[in-house]
């Protein structure tokens, strides 16, 4: 029994990581209706940047975020202003194609530079630290930290979107791009800021991913799928819903893995498909 509770707890906490994968993707889709197919690969890119920063400068991977976050944010702004803004318009196909191309490019560039060997970010024992809870359940410090960071990131995003002028601008552009220009908003710049914000969250997700599991250049697309699943299960447009979606996905995966280690990914997909069938709008859809 305590074994089962431990598994479920692991799944819930894993949901925090999936929410971190998803939050940036959701933000970009919300603000500019852009589906970023390269999102997963950008997560892996951040993990590699953290690998270089922590290896080269001897920083703890979490401390390396002081380098990774600004670097990825700048990359996001530049990418949006130079390439992605040109793909936005009435047709939804160009951004899909261009970000798909970016995904292929990133995977191959990382393969070229770092080879296909699996890597891991060494966090000085943080990976294995445990706290013993009553009833014989043990819980990892790292998963707890990931979950708390996910809650903090989502709270921060909510505050930004609903309590600041910048958030108001993001929401108005999301509603009506032409009317937003009449407010004096430079949409191209605002989209750049949204992408910078998205890739800042991606950096945090990438570093946690790299501490938690092995990574290599090919695993980005699977992270993208997890992010999509968390968003759809939670209901499009609601960030707390995305966290719940991540938790449902995480629990499904850890329970699946408990039945048979090979079922981990499959169990997540099955639960996702079941929800898509019976509640296609997700649990907390934000209808406007």
Partner 1 sequence: MMPSNLLETHGLAAFYGDFQALFGIDFHIEPDETVAIIGSNGAGKSTFLKSIVGLLRAKAEAIYFDGKAIGGNPAYRIVAQGISMVPEGRRLFPSLSVEENLLIGAYGKREGPWTLSAIYEIFPVLKQKRNVPATALSGGQQQMASIGRALMANPKLLLCDEISLGLAPVVIKEIYAQLERVTASGTTLIVVEQDVKQAMAVADRVYCLREGRIALEGRPSDLSREQITAAYFGL
Residue range at the interface with partner 1 (CB under 8 A); choices 50-58, 91-99, 176-184, 243-251: 176-184
Nearer to partner 1, 134 or 184 (CB): 184
The answer to whether residue 159 forms part of the interface with partner 1 (CB under 8 A) is: no
d(CA 117, CA 109): 14
Residue range at the interface with partner 1 (CB under 8 A); choices 61-69, 112-120, 167-175, 274-282: 167-175
Q: For residues 54, 41, 13 and 26, what is the CA-based torsion angle, rounded to 10 degrees? A: 130
d(CA 30, CA 175): 9
Backbone dihedral angles phi then psi of residue 140, each to the nearest 5 degrees: -75, 145
The answer to whether residue 171 forms part of the interface with partner 1 (CB under 8 A) is: yes
Q: CB 178 → partner 1: shortest distance, Å? A: 6
**In the numeric block, which tokens belong to residue 8?**
């479920």
d(CA 229, CA 231): 5
Q: CB 85 → partner 1: shortest distance, Å? A: 13
What would the x/- binding string for partner 1 be over residues 106 to 145, using CB under 8 A? Answer: ----------------------------------------
DSSP code of residue 80 = I
According to CB under 8 A, which one of 2, 115, 155, 186 is a site residue for partner 1? 186
The answer to whether residue 90 forms part of the interface with partner 1 (CB under 8 A) is: no
Query: How big is the site for partner 1, counted in residues (CB under 8 A)?
Result: 19
The answer to whether residue 86 forms part of the interface with partner 1 (CB under 8 A) is: no
Residue in the block written with tokens 């393969």: 111
Question: Would you tell me how many other CB atoms lie within 10 Å of the CB of residue 11?
Answer: 24
d(CA 211, CA 119): 10
Q: CB 182 → partner 1: shortest distance, Å? A: 5
The answer to whether residue 93 forms part of the interface with partner 1 (CB under 8 A) is: no
**In the numeric block, which tokens belong to residue 221?**
């697309």
According to CB under 8 A, which one of 158, 172, 213, 264 is a site residue for partner 1? 172
């Amino acid at each position: 029994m305590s074994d089962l509770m431990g598994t479920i707890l692991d799944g819930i906490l894993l949901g925090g990581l999936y929410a971190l994968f998803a939050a940036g993707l959701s933000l970009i889709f919300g603000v500019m209706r852009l589906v970023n197919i390269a999102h997963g690969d950008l997560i892996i890119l951040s993990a590699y940047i953290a690998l270089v920063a922590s290896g080269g400068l001897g920083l703890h991977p979490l401390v390396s975020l002081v380098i990774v976050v600004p670097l990825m944010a700048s990359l996001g702004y530049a990418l949006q202003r130079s390439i992605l803004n040109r793909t936005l318009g009435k047709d939804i196909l160009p951004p899909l194609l261009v970000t798909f191309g970016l995904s292929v490019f990133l995977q191959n560039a990382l393969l070229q530079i770092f080879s296909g060997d699996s890597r891991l970010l060494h966090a000085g024992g943080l990976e294995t630290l445990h706290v013993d809870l009553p009833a014989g359940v043990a819980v990892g410090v790292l998963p707890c930290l990931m979950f708390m960071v996910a809650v903090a990131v989502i709270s921060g995003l909510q505050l930004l979107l609903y309590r600041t002028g910048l958030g108001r601008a993001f929401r108005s552009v999301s509603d009506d791009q032409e009317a937003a220009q009449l407010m004096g908003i430079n949409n191209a710049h605002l989209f750049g800021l949204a992408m910078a914000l998205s890739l800042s969250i991606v950096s945090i997700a990438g570093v946690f991913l790299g501490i938690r599991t092995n990574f290599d250049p090919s695993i980005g697309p699977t992270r993208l799928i997890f992010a999509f699943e968390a968003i759809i299960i939670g209901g499009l447009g609601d960030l707390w819903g995305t966290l719940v979606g991540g938790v449902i996905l995480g629990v499904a995966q850890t329970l699946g893995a408990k039945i048979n280690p090979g079922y981990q990914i499959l169990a997540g997909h099955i639960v996702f498909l079941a929800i898509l069938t019976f509640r296609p709008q997700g649990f907390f859809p934000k209808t406007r």
